[in-house]
Amino acid sequence: MRVAVVGAGGIGSVFGGRLAAAGHEVWLVHRRPAHVEAVRRDGLLLDGPRGAERIAIRATCDPGEVGSVDLVLVLTKANDTRAAADAARPLVGDGTVVVTLQNGLGNLETIGEVLGVERVLVGMTYHGASLDAPGRVRHTATGQTFVGEPWGGITERVQSIADCFTEAGVATEVTDRLWEMVWGKLVINAALNATCALTGASGVDILASPSARELVGQVAHECAAVATALGITLPYPDPAVRVWQHCETIQTAKPSMLQDLERGRTTEIDAINGAIVREGMRLGVPTPLNRALMLLIKAREDVTWHS
Active site residues: 185
Q: What is the DSSP string of 145-176?
A: EEEE-TTS---HHHHHHHHHHHHTT--EEE-S
Amino acid found at 235: P
Q: CB pairs under 8 A, 24+ apart, for 34-41?
A: 34/134, 35/8, 35/59, 35/131, 35/134, 35/135, 36/60, 36/61, 37/134, 38/133, 38/134, 38/135, 38/136, 39/134, 39/135, 41/135
Q: What is the DSSP string of 237-292?
A: S-HHHHHHHHHHHHTTPPPHHHHHHHTT---SGGGTHHHHHHHHHHHT---HHHHH
Distance CA 165, CA 162 (A): 5
Residues in the chain: 307
* C-alpha triplet 85, 267, 132: angle, nearest 5°: 90
The pairing of strands 92-100 and 44-48 is unpaired
DSSP element (H, E) containing 55: strand 51-55
Longest dimension (CA), the chain: 54
